[in-house]
Structure 1
Amino acid sequence: MSSQSCYVRVFQTEDGQWSVRSDAPGAGDVDYPSQGDAITAGVHMAMAEGALLTIHAANDAKTKSEIDFAGCSVSRVASIA
């Protein structure tokens, strides 16, 4: 696990929406209608914050995948056509 202090989580809410949560100061939960949208937003947020991204499986807070973006530097994001 990384030593940085910021974490970003992607998880499914009780009402079936997908949410992204950052523990950065002033950040709140942001809800998305699909898992893909939430993962995309979570990846962007984690990259910007140099955070550890945790993606929880649907309806299961115990099953997760983690990607550590600490130390990553992205000067620009390429668009996919």
Structure 2
Amino acid sequence: MSSRSCSVQVFQTEAGRWSVKSDAPGANVVDYASQGDAIAAAVRMAMAEGALLTIHAAEDARSEIDFAGCCAPQGCLKVA
């Protein structure tokens, strides 16, 4: 059983942009111009928070990746 503290979601807005949302305290929704940029940012965020990452596709299908207990090398989590 994982000790997940939060979740991170990637979804497409009605305006066609891609957003990343975390339910961590104080987190804001951040918009990105492309799905790839949003997913890259969400993966870094989920790994840093040990979160469950859910990616909602444009067709409303979804994929989940659980980063609870995952460690990444120190240099991998730099935000551009």
- Structure 2 equivalent of residue 54 of structure 1: 54
Secondary structure at 2:21's aligned position in 1?
strand
Structure 1 runs of 4+ with >6 Å offset: none
- Return the offset for 1:2: 4.5
Query: Which consecutive residues of structure 1, in runs of 5 or more, have no partner in the other structure?
Result: none
Q: Aligned residue for 1:73? A: 71
Q: Where in structure 2 are the equivalents of 1:1-81 lying within 5 Å?
A: 2-60=2-60, 63-76=61-74, 77=76
- Report the residue type matching 1:49 in the other structure: E
| Kept after mapping to 1: 8 A contact 2:5/2:49 | no
Identical counterparts, % of pairs: 72
Higher helix share: 2
Number of residue-to-residue matches in the alignment: 76
TM-score by length of 2: 0.87
Shift of 1:13: 0.3
Relative to total residues, which structure has the larger strand share, 1 or 2? 1
Deviation per CA, 1:16-68: give whole Å up to 9, x if none: 000000000000100000000000000000000000000001152xx100000
RMSD: 1.7
User: Which consecutive unaligned segments of at least 5 residues does structure 2 have?
Assistant: none
TM-score (norm: length of structure 1): 0.86
